[in-house]
Structure 1
Amino acid sequence: MKIVVIGCTHAGTAAILNSTKLYPDAEITVYERNDNISFLSCGIALYVGGVVKDPQGLFYSSPEELAVLGVRTKMRHDVVGADLDGKKLTIRNLDTDETFEDHFDKLIITTGSWPIVPRIQGIDLENILLSKNYYHSNTIIEKAKDAKNIVVVGAGYIGVELVEAFEMNGKQVTLIDSLDRILSKYLDKEFTDVAESAFIDRGVRLALGETVTRFEGRDGAVSKVVTSKGEYEADLVILCIGFKPNTELFKGQIDMLDNGAIITDEYMRTSKENVYAAGDSCAIIYNPTGKHAYIPLATNAVRMGTLVARNLVKPMTKYMGTQGTSGIKIYEENIASTGLTENSARELGLDIQVVTVKDNYRPEFMPTYDEATLKVVYERESRIILGAQIISKTDLTQSINTISVCIQNKMTIDELGFVDFFFQPHFNKPWNLLNLAGLRAE
């Protein structure tokens, strides 16, 4: 059996490592454009901020490791053509410019995603950077050394984390987003208000509800960002607008969402026989709605890549879907969310109710205690839990992993009230915060 893998970050690495164990007699070839694999891009802000000193710790595999496992490791090779019916690929060696063909019995598409780059005036000026891979992170660090005014465009996780890193390095930072709140995809307003206040208190300028209309430059490099409402000096601009799937190569050959995300079944099979897909190139089943959605997260990618390997010969293990569970630390605030927010549920037209609990996370007789805010979204008629968010200075984010399990198993808010959680004064109260949410639900 000849297995070919296109792309080797999270999903690709997981698929390859598991395939070498499950199919020791298979011939496995990986084609990767870059000269490195498995870079944890979620660690870029930590690297930029100096928390991570050695960037090699952000890699969990290497071309050399794959070669030792018997994988034909073709780095700096770009797949430029694909005939899925004929099971043929056209590949270009980026070092020699040589082009050749290869064939496969099983194809694994893990081509990932790429940052969205808007085609607006001045976008090609120097010092307007992306934040996705290892090379981006090194360029950001090098350019930031001499920059005084840094503008980050896009207030998702990556943008927000970079803003914090730059501010802590003494830079004047402006965060621009066309929406009126940061992290609005993941959190409701009462949670983003806390995070925004943390930035404002530290001198970060928030230009929210503003759309970038052009970049202006001086001597070929960016000097100003112009938005629909204002102008901001900039020595360095980081674009963190979002991501799109790298799937142009396969359009018209396999089923996709409108944005190009490949649709797979629960065994990671595409609409083309013997062709599988995983990671940021794919759509996933979003359990709160039961529909396909595009949620590019490393956690999803690793799970999907592992499942591809398990299901490559015959369907063995179903993908259970995702809740889009994620977390972030902004200065002293520990924040996490899973599933639908109140805002996103209402935008979908769902009939929901919410319950919010504010309480000290452990007994007041303890020497210290912090207040936590937990919000749970649930369906009005069925009472099934659809989402949750938590914020506190003490790290209680693992509670959201618990709610993720509840959503996956379609538990109700009433059942949550009586789930068996331990009590120990160092950690919580006799009624856990999650219990309280269930007990207080209308």
Structure 2
Amino acid sequence: MRIIIVGGNHAGIAAALRIREEYPDDEVIVFEKKDEITFVSQTIPLFLMGHQDIHSQANYATPQEIIAQGVDLRIQKEVTNIDAKKKLLNFRNVLTQHEHEISYDRLIMAAGSYPNLPPTGGKLNETLFLLKERKDAEAIEKFISEAHHAVVIGAGLVGVEIARILAQRKMKVTLIQSNARILDKYLDENAAIEVEKQLEEEGIDVLLGTRVLSYHTIEKKIWSRPKIEVETSSGKKVRADGVFVSVGFRPNSFLLAGQVETGDRGAIVVDKYMYTSDDSILAVGDCSTTYMDLTGENIYNPHASDAFRQGLIAAVNIHEKKQEVAMTTGTYKFNMDGFKIANTGITLNQAQKYGYDADEVHYQNHYLERGGKYIHESIAKYAPAEKGRKSHYSSIYLVYEKKTKRILGVQVLGTVDISQYVNIISLAIQKNVTVPEIEYTDFFFEHGYKNPLGFTKILASLVREKERESGRDGKEEKSDEVK
């Protein structure tokens, strides 16, 4: 069988390698229009923070390594047309511009996504910046070395991340968010307010409930950088050296437009086996939809970990449907210098929107930094006083269904990294684990704290306390059942 994969990033390469493992007799061809594969865009913030080299640490595989594993990888070959009825694909050599045609038995669409861009703006990578490719990272680094003030449009995870990085690099930063709170897709109001306070403490000017109406380049003076003027819905005009746009992504699904079913934001609709409405075409990664079990919707949710999983599932099912993709919980972690955010599942707002009778509990730890280590404040009195000792904290918000005590989501944030707990809750959600069940799970003893029970037991006790206070402790329901 000849299998063609369009796209050589996370989902496409994962699918190609797994097909080689599962079906070694199949012919696997991957088309990638760039001259590299497996570029990790999450490396860009780490590069800008000085933690990773964008040139040597941004890819986890080279074309030569993939070819050595039996994949016919064709880089700098751009797919220009797909005829689903005839099972034909046209592609162009990026260097020579020569056109070619090839047939396929199965097609895996893994073409990824592209950033949303407003209709007006400055010149890309001069006064207008995205965080998507290697060239973007190099242009941003140059910009930081020359500029003084940046506007960031969009306060999702990427927008918040780049705003903090720019501020830490001694730039003046204005962060503009159209919604009432930042990170509203990932955090509930109280958690979002915590992050907003952190940003303001770091000197970032946060404009909430504000839309960008337009922005344009101001004519530059001789020997100076061009400037940008941003007009907002509040009437405020912001002049800066550049604008960073972080308002989401769109699926690269246009090659199959009108040939397969598309849904949310034009993403290719797939079933739990990664098949499209055409039984010879599968779609994975950022060009396809993701089924969210908690909300019962096929949505567009571009996410690297989902891309890997979907690529593997598509490979296993390439001959026949035999393995469903595991439940998607939307698990994220963002490594922002000195402040961590991670979440999984749905927020309380989302839970109520989708009809859950849900509630939320919150637990916060405070720590003192001593000798490069974090000490919980409850035992800090046993540590000798040190000049310049600094306070740190971590917060956990747990969302649960009131009647069943089923866990629906968790949000973790703070200056101390406890994000590993999010993976535990992600698995709990996938297995429909309840709060009482996770309370009695066998986790290792967490010593060194005033309360050594560990976060799952502490959160469970907070749920019990909240239910008792609200009269929903289950006693009345139980007596009715006995009757």
Normalising to structure 1: TM-score of the pair?
Answer: 0.93
- In 1, Cα distance between the equivalents of 2:13 and 2:450? 39
Amino acid at match of 1:133: E
**Deviating more after overlay: 174-183 vs 376-385:** 376-385
Shift of 1:124: 5.2
Residue 240 of structure 2 corresponds to 234
- In 1, Cα distance between the equivalents of 2:460 and 2:183? 26
Q: In the alignment, which of 396, 418, 433 is matched to residue 455 of structure 2?
A: 433
Q: Is 1:100 aligned to 2:114, yes or no?
A: no
- In 2 relative to 1, CA 45–70 (structure 1 residues): closer, same or farther, beyond 3 Å? same
- In 2 relative to 1, CA 428–28 (structure 1 residues): closer, same or farther, beyond 3 Å? farther
- In 2 relative to 1, CA 146–425 (structure 1 residues): closer, same or farther, beyond 3 Å? same
Paired residues of 2:295 and 2:354 also in contact (CA < 8 A) = no
Unaligned runs of 5+ in 2: 221-225, 368-375, 384-390, 468-483
- In 1, Cα distance between the equivalents of 2:198 and 2:264? 37
Amino acid at match of 1:242: G
How many residues align? The count is: 441
Q: Is 1:256 aligned to 2:278, yes or no?
A: no
CA RMSD of aligned residues (A): 2.2
Paired residues of 1:151 and 1:173 also in contact (CA < 8 A) = yes
Amino acid at match of 1:7: G
- In 2, Cα distance between the equivalents of 1:123 and 1:214? 11
Q: In the alignment, which of 222, 225, 228 is matched to residue 223 of structure 1?
A: 228
Shift of 1:371: 4.8
1:151 alignment partner, SS class: strand
Paired residues of 1:323 and 1:339 also in contact (CA < 8 A) = yes
- In 2, Cα distance between the equivalents of 1:142 and 1:99? 37
Q: In the alignment, which of 364, 372, 377 is matched to residue 378 of structure 2?
A: 364
Paired residues of 1:286 and 1:293 also in contact (CA < 8 A) = yes
Paired residues of 2:264 and 2:298 also in contact (CA < 8 A) = no
Q: Is 1:156 aligned to 2:156, yes or no?
A: yes
Q: Is 1:380 aligned to 2:402, yes or no?
A: yes
Q: In the alignment, which of 348, 351, 369 is matched to residue 357 of structure 2?
A: 351
**Deviating more after overlay: 245-254 vs 366-375:** 366-375
- In 1, Cα distance between the equivalents of 2:214 and 2:273? 44
- In 2 relative to 1, CA 245–238 (structure 1 residues): closer, same or farther, beyond 3 Å? same
**Deviating more after overlay: 237-246 vs 223-232:** 223-232
Q: What is the 5 A alignment of 1:305-320?
A: 305-320=311-326
Paired residues of 1:147 and 1:235 also in contact (CA < 8 A) = yes
**Deviating more after overlay: 371-380 vs 90-99:** 371-380
Residue 31 of structure 2 corresponds to 31
Shift of 1:255: 1.8
Q: In the alignment, which of 343, 347, 353 is matched to residue 337 of structure 1?
A: 343
2:158 alignment partner, SS class: helix
2:318 alignment partner, SS class: coil
- In 2 relative to 1, CA 91–428 (structure 1 residues): closer, same or farther, beyond 3 Å? farther
Residue 200 of structure 1 corresponds to 200
Q: CA offsets per residue over residues 141-180 of structure 1, 9 Å max, x none?
A: 2233211111111111111111122112111111112112
- In 2 relative to 1, CA 219–95 (structure 1 residues): closer, same or farther, beyond 3 Å? farther
Residue 80 of structure 1 corresponds to 80
Residue 68 of structure 1 corresponds to 68
1:233 alignment partner, SS class: strand
Shift of 1:393: 3.0
Paired residues of 1:42 and 1:158 also in contact (CA < 8 A) = no
Amino acid at match of 1:225: V
Paired residues of 2:264 and 2:289 also in contact (CA < 8 A) = no
Paired residues of 2:122 and 2:228 also in contact (CA < 8 A) = no
2:424 alignment partner, SS class: helix
- In 2, Cα distance between the equivalents of 1:260 and 1:114? 12
2:107 alignment partner, SS class: strand
- In 2 relative to 1, CA 281–197 (structure 1 residues): closer, same or farther, beyond 3 Å? same
Unaligned runs of 5+ in 1: none
- In 2 relative to 1, CA 394–223 (structure 1 residues): closer, same or farther, beyond 3 Å? closer
- In 1, Cα distance between the equivalents of 2:54 and 2:90? 37
1:381 alignment partner, SS class: coil
- In 1, Cα distance between the equivalents of 2:233 and 2:49? 30
- In 2, Cα distance between the equivalents of 1:245 and 1:321? 21
- In 2 relative to 1, CA 142–393 (structure 1 residues): closer, same or farther, beyond 3 Å? closer
Paired residues of 2:344 and 2:426 also in contact (CA < 8 A) = yes
Amino acid at match of 2:246: C
Paired residues of 1:340 and 1:388 also in contact (CA < 8 A) = yes
Shift of 1:11: 0.4
Normalising to structure 2: TM-score of the pair?
Answer: 0.86
**Deviating more after overlay: 19-28 vs 319-328:** 19-28
- In 2 relative to 1, CA 401–76 (structure 1 residues): closer, same or farther, beyond 3 Å? same
Paired residues of 1:373 and 1:392 also in contact (CA < 8 A) = yes
Shift of 1:396: 1.2
1:64 alignment partner, SS class: helix
- In 2, Cα distance between the equivalents of 1:224 and 1:200? 22
- In 1, Cα distance between the equivalents of 2:327 and 2:309? 10
Paired residues of 2:122 and 2:217 also in contact (CA < 8 A) = no
Shift of 1:108: 0.8
1:259 alignment partner, SS class: helix
Amino acid at match of 1:412: T
Paired residues of 1:363 and 1:429 also in contact (CA < 8 A) = no
Q: In the alignment, which of 276, 285, 299 is matched to residue 279 of structure 1?
A: 285
Paired residues of 1:287 and 1:408 also in contact (CA < 8 A) = no
Residue 295 of structure 1 corresponds to 301
Q: CA offsets per residue over residues 264-311 of structure 1, 9 Å max, x none?
A: 222211121121111111111213223222211111101111111122
Paired residues of 1:47 and 1:55 also in contact (CA < 8 A) = no
The higher radius of gyration belongs to 2
Q: Is 1:328 aligned to 2:334, yes or no?
A: yes
Paired residues of 2:264 and 2:299 also in contact (CA < 8 A) = no
- In 2, Cα distance between the equivalents of 1:208 and 1:97? 47
